[in-house]
Amino acid sequence: MTWTLVFVLAAGAYAFKVTGLVILGGRTLPPVFDRCLALIPAAVITALVMKDTFSTGQDLALDARALGIAAAVIAAWRRLPLIVVIVVGAAVTAVVRQIS
């Protein structure tokens, strides 16, 4: 992590916020943009889960993390609070690492 990235990211994130609220104001986007933008979190967050669970750098990997995330998925499916999902995932991963 570099300070340059911190500041460029801050500027970029703020640019989106200010563009919508202050610059474009009450205008509406063509519906196709709305539909596609609304899908970004589902697509990108799933990709982040896959990367953090099944890869190390450029190598695919199957290790303790997979069981931890499986437990987290069950916790999320049971509608447990976010922090509980994280604790369950971390605890299962740690236990699997201890016994393997």
Partner 1 sequence: MSRVDQPVWWRDESLRPMMVACLTLSAAVGVFGVSFGVASVSAGASVAQTCAISLLVFTGASQFSAVSVIGSGGSFGSALGGALLLAARNGVYGLAMSRRIEGSLALRMLAAQLTIDETTAMSVAQPDPRAQRVAFWFTGAALYFFWNLGTLIGAVAGNAIDPTTYGLDVAFPAGFVAMLWPLLTDARARLAATIGGVVCLVAVPITPVGVPILLSALAVLVGVRRPSQVAS
Q: Which two tokens stand for residue 17?
A: 């916020």
**Dihedral angle computed from the Cα positions of residues 86, 14, 36 and 47, in that order, rounded to the nearest 10 degrees:** -30
Question: At 60, phi and psi to the nearest 5?
Answer: -75, 145
Q: Please report how the helices 64-77 and 82-99 are oriented relative to each other, as an axis angle in degrees rounded to 10.
A: 150
Shortest spacing between CB 98 and partner 1, in angstroms: 9
Shortest spacing between CB 78 and partner 1, in angstroms: 10
Q: What's the CA gap between 72 and 81, in Å, rounded? A: 11
Shortest spacing between CB 84 and partner 1, in angstroms: 8
